């Protein structure tokens, strides 16, 4: 007897993709149009956490920002290519955990591509800081990508890189 689609790895991965993409886009919409963060600049939430408006025209940690207007297209095309490869991985994996993580990474990548195409830059707004230390400003998509990659690395590490753990 076959499992229902949503309980298969690919179905779970698609669910993670949809949830991350939705949470990312809803949070960015609220930041831009509900909180009006572009006009406010920064809003203190906690002593160590602000919403701070940053339009990221580059990639992770501001890398490759020197591409100018072409960066918008270059980064979008590369991200969509990676997302397509991730969908293939998600379709082929027998592991539910892998599919969930790959789906979350894909949802985050697509969310950031949507920003680049819509606004010309990625909407970043979460700013953690403490004791004179300040982390990069990021968004829900970035968080999903980083957390999911960490889980994938941990899963691979704990399995010794073998396929047996899948």
Which tokens belong to 137? Answer: 């400003």
From the list 24, 39, 115, 142, the catalytic residue is: 142
45 φ/ψ sector (left φ>0, alpha ψ -120 to 50, else beta): alpha
Closest to 110 (Cα-Cα) out of 136, 90, 74, 82: 82
Q: Output the CA–CA distances (angstroms, integers) from residue 20 to 50, 97, 130, 151, in the order listed.
A: 21, 15, 27, 16
From the list 24, 39, 115, 124, the catalytic residue is: 124
Respond yes or no: is residue 39 known to be catalytic: no
Respond yes or no: is residue 36 known to be catalytic: no
Q: Is residue 137 within 8 Å of residue 37, measured between CB atoms? A: no
| Active-site residue set | 124, 142
């Amino acid at each position: 007897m076959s499992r229902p689609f949503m309980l298969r790895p690919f179905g779970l991965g698609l669910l993670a993709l949809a949830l991350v993409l939705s949470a990312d886009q809803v949070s960015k919409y609220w930041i831009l149009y509900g909180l009006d963060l572009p006009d406010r600049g920064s809003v203190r939430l906690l002593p160590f956490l602000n919403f701070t408006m940053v339009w990221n025209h580059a990639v992770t940690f501001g890398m490759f920002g020197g591409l100018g207007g072409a960066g918008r297209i270059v980064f979008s095309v590369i991200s969509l290519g990676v997302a397509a490869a991730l969908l293939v991985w998600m379709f082929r994996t027998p592991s539910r955990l892998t599919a969930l993580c790959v789906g979350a990474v894909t949802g985050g990548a697509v969310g950031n591509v949507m920003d680049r195409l819509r606004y010309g830059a990625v909407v970043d707004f979460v700013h953690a800081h403490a004791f004179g230390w300040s982390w990069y400003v990021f968004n829900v998509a970035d968080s999903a990508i980083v957390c999911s990659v960490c889980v994938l690395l941990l899963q691979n590490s704990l399995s010794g890189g073998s396929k047996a753990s899948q």
